[in-house]
Structures are given as structure tokens and as C-alpha cells.
Amino acid sequence: MPQAYIGVDVGTTSTRAGVFDAAGNLLATARHPIRIWHEAGDIVEQSSSDIWDACAKSVRAAMAEAGIAPETVGGIGFDATCSLVVLDRQGEPVTVSASGELQRNVIVWMDHRATTEARLINETEDAVLRYVGGSISPEMEMPKLLWLKRHLRASFDAAGHFFDLADYLTWRATGSLQRSTCTVTCKWNYLAHDGGGWSGPFFQRIGLSDFVAEKYARIGTEIVAPGTRLGAGLTRAAATDLGLPPGTPVGASLIDAHAGGIGAIGGRDGSGGTTDVCDRLAYIMGTSACIMATTKKPCFVPGVWGPYYSGMVPDFWLNEGGQSAAGAAIDHLLKSHAGYAEASAAARKDGLDIIDFLERRIIARAGDASRAALLARDVHVLPEFIGNRSPYADPETRAVIAGLDLDTDIGAMERLFVAGLCGLAYGLAEVIEAFAAHGVHSSIMIMGGGASRSPLVRQIMADTTGLTVALPQTKEPVLLGAAMLGAVAGGAHASIGETMAKMSALGRLSEPTAPDMAAFHGRKRDVYKLLREVDRGSRAAMRGVGMARG
């Protein structure tokens, strides 16, 4: 009888593996860094081989920590960022880099090199775009593929396989070319509803008719639900890499945020009643952030990705808002402040990371998390360093900060930190309001990701949105969601829905506080809107000025 399931999560800078028992209790985790290349402009690249090696090291380390026999593992699942992996017909890397280095064969999700291609695709106004909120993002795969065809034609032609990173991992694990409904529907413009499929006219309009002519062989001809058992399980080579038995069941993958959604929104709440996933919003906050809501019928929300049929929970529609920079925005704010070195040294002395260090100081000074936002009364941040994903779908938006003075001490850094958290909360509130205006309503928000463990973050989000904010009982909902895929593939549960109810539960709640805090955030949101107008106005004023002439 299987005793454990493994979830593997590939983020932007590291891979993680988690081992869970059959009830969803976390037994062990391990992390391994992955290499990343940042080039001038918006170029961000990785190596698929390096990522797989990091996955293997993470799994082996987590299994060693768990102290269980490999034969007791009943299944494994993978999730990953929505990055584009390019391989040749033999499965070897094909470069996506101007450097020509073969190992650089992954265009990372946050790479915005394809902004022009996204604009060209949007200008077609094809009906398929209705299912991405009316506007495709350069973070999605079609703009990246079009960029490759236009700028690295030799690589485009040499490619035998184009994978979403999560599907690459399951191919590497099993040899199966099946793709997940989650990845291709949410990032590749596949239409999963009403027997849909790939749209030939769409590919022809956007300049990628190559895929139509080859009957979609390079991007996926068999699409399956997340958790579907792939191939004959782990191949002998993959099993050797991971330290698991050949044939261990492998479930079709999920995008990382969607794994977090699966690991969070279906949890038992202790009431004994039936869980209504349509009443629960998932907010998964990592380097970026995803805001996901499920509905029984399709709801079209301008500037919000979707509606995607079975994009996360099978047989439900998904609307997916997002913030291109969330944790990355906070990290950048802190590292750019003059007090960063002093704060980092003080944090190390106390045995804390800098975020925990700052939060403890802030809550101690404010008295409790509910009053901490008052520290940012006169500092305001629009934290959109790499564009607005939702609800404006404007990749050219940039950050604006108002209210800075010449203070360089840790106190000034704390004010900027809180202001940045408020800015993220106001962006979240804009997405939730866009949802509600088009029929997507929720009363509770389940938070996942590293920032969700912060009482300060949860309280600011609750006070800004007016929603109850809940934590999943597990501290690793993304890893749990990936492990659930292994549990379904291994036959422990019949479906994703059943697995959510059996393996997850809700934990601590944060409620909105006094009305005066709602009023405070309302005033700061007015300033936030002014900053957005400053960004738009400054870009409009400078458009075309100083540009090189051809």
C-alpha cells in the first residue's frame, strides 16, 4: 500500500520537492537552485537540463529527509513556471539565445522579448483572444514562438518539440508527449471547451501556419487532464535520476500557481459541509502572483486571462488575474534602499531573513498587524516594475514611487516595505473588482506561496479587499498540489476534486479589521490611481522622443 506521494515544483530560481503522506501531511522538503541568465533588456533564459538535474537532486534530498523507502512512493507530480522549452527531434537542447549557447534553451516566463510579437497578435483581434481577456501577454507562448520564428529562424526550424516547462518535466520523466490541459489552455491558446482544440485560422493569422501544416506535432497532439497517468510511469533513466523505482506513476502536470490553487481552494474547513470552490479565490504569491477564481459557467473579464475550461479544476472555468512582479517587486524595493546592508546585517545577527526581521520590527512598533499599514501613510508605490498583467494587460507599465525623503535608516526601509505591500494589495483589489463586475464573486481568499505565511501580508490583503483571508493548513500548497497529481495518477483518488477534499484543509483566518483601516486604504488607493496616471502620462509624453531613426 503506497505511503507517500511526491510533488516537484520548479520556480523561477529553484526547484523544490515535497514528500507527503496519503492524508496530505508534509513529511519532508528539499530545495536546489537553478541557473538563470539575465541579459540586457527583457531577456531571461535557463537550461532544461540544469532544471531536470535540480529536480533530481531535490527529490533525492527530500526522500532522504523523509526517511522512507522509495518503494512506498505511490506517485509523483510536477508543476513549473510557464516557460518555453525548445528541443530538437532527438530531445536535445536547441538554443533560444543570441549567444548561440545550446544549453540556453528555455525562454523564462518573465522574459518580455516578445512584446512586439504580442502586439502583432493582438492586432489580429482573432476570436481566440477572447479567451485570454482580449489581449495576449508576452509571457505566453505564442508571442515567444513568433519571436523565435522572426529572430532565430534556425532554432525555430531545428526544433522538434516545443514544451511548456511543466510538460517538459513529465516528458523527461516518462517519455510521454502528452500535454496537460492546464498548460496548453492557459498559455498556448488551446480551446478545451466544446470539443475545441487548436485553432488553425488563429495560427494562420498570427504567422505561425507552420504548426497547422505539420498537424501540431511539435506543440502537442494529445491533450489530457492534470493527474492523468502518463506512459508507463517513470522510465528507467528517470527513475535512476530521481532515486525512485521504474514505473512509479507520474501525473500530467500543472502550472506552478495552478498547483497552488489545487493545493489550497478545495481544503476542508471543519464545518463538515460541501466545499464550494466557486466561492473561493486563490491568491498564489511568489516571484509573481496569480489570482484565480473558478466558475461553473464562463465569465469574460477584460484584461484577465481566461475563461479557461478545465484550466485548473476539471469541468470548471478558470479566470486568472496576475501581477507580473510580486515577491520580485518587494525584493527589488528592499535591495535598492540605502538601508539594505544595515538591515541585512542586523537580520543575520538575529538569525532571521530580512523579511522576517522587518516584519517583526514593524508589528512591534505598530502594536499589531492591523495597524502596521499606517507606517506607509506618506509613501506610495505602484510596484509594476515589469508591466501590468491584470486588469489592464499593459506590459509597458512601470513602477512609480512617491513620498521618498533622504532618510537612509532601517525605519525608512520599513516604510517603503509596507508601502510596497500596500501597492500589491491595491493591484489585487483591482483584479477582484474586475472579477466582480463581470459575475465572478468570492467571499474568501485562500493565500499560498511564501508570502502567505506573513500575518502582515495577510492583514493588509484582508483590509484592502474586504475578504476573509485563509491559509491552507499545509505550509506548502504548491508542492501539495503537485503531489496530488501523483496521487490521482497512482489511483489513490479518482479525480482532482476528490483528492482536494481528502488531502487538504484550511487553517488560520485573517478578517478585515476596523472601518478606519478600510478608509485609510481607500485614501491610499486614490493615490495609487494617481501614480498609474503618472505612469501612463509620462510614457505618452515621451513616446517617440529620442528614438533612433532607421
Q: Distance (Å, rounded) from C-alpha 442 to C-alpha 489?
A: 31
> Which residue in the block uniquely carries the three cell numbers 516566463?
109
Alpha helices in 352-409 (DSSP H): 354-366
Give me the domains of the chain, ranges plus CATH numbers: 4-254 (3.30.420.40)
Residue entry with cell 474547513:
269
Alpha helices (H) in 384-513, listed in sequence order:
410-437, 455-465, 477-489, 496-503
Helix (H, G, I), strand (E, B) or coil at 282: strand
Instruction: Decide: 266 and 277 in contact? Cβ < 8 Å.
Output: yes
Q: Which helix (H) or strand (E) holds 66?
A: helix 48-66
- Contact criterion met (CB below 8 Å) for 168 and 336: no
- pLDDT per position in the chain (550 positions), as tens? 578 999 999 999 999 999 999 999 999 999 999 999 999 878 999 999 999 999 999 999 999 999 999 999 999 999 999 999 999 999 999 999 999 999 999 999 999 999 999 999 999 999 999 999 999 999 999 999 999 999 999 999 999 999 999 999 999 999 999 999 999 999 999 999 988 899 999 999 999 999 999 999 999 999 999 999 999 999 999 999 999 999 999 999 999 999 999 998 888 876 655 568 888 999 999 889 999 999 999 999 999 999 999 999 989 999 999 999 999 999 999 999 999 999 999 999 999 999 999 999 999 999 888 899 999 999 999 999 999 999 998 999 999 999 999 999 999 999 999 999 999 999 999 999 999 999 999 989 999 887 888 899 999 999 999 999 999 999 999 999 999 999 999 999 999 989 998 999 888 888 888 788 999 999 999 999 999 999 999 999 999 887 654 4
Cα radius of gyration rounded to whole Å, the chain:
23
| Residue 420, all three cell numbers | 510596497
C-alpha 282/C-alpha 465 separation (Å) is 13
Query: With contact defined as beta carbons under 8 Å apart, do 408 and 343 qualify?
Result: no
All 3 cell numbers of residue 164?
A: 511548456
Return the half-sphere exposure (C-beta side, CA atoms, 13 A cut-off) of residue 175: 12
Cα separation, 95 vs 93, in Å, equals 6
Assess contact for 265 and 278: CB atoms under 8 A.
no
Number of C-beta neighbours around residue 317 at 10 A = 24
Q: Please list, in sequence order, all residues whose beta carbon lies within 8 angstroms of the beta carbon of residue 208, skipping any fewer than 6 positions away.
A: 142, 145, 146, 149
Q: Which three cell numbers stand for residue 386?
A: 515589469
Three-state DSSP state, 545: coil
Per the listing, cell 530538437 goes with: 88
**Other CB atoms within 10 A of residue 18 CB:** 28
Q: What distances in angstroms separate CA 277 from CA 21, 261, 263, 269, 296, one per listed residue?
A: 24, 10, 12, 12, 10
| DSSP codes, 83-110 | -EEEE-TTS-B---STT--TT--EE-TT
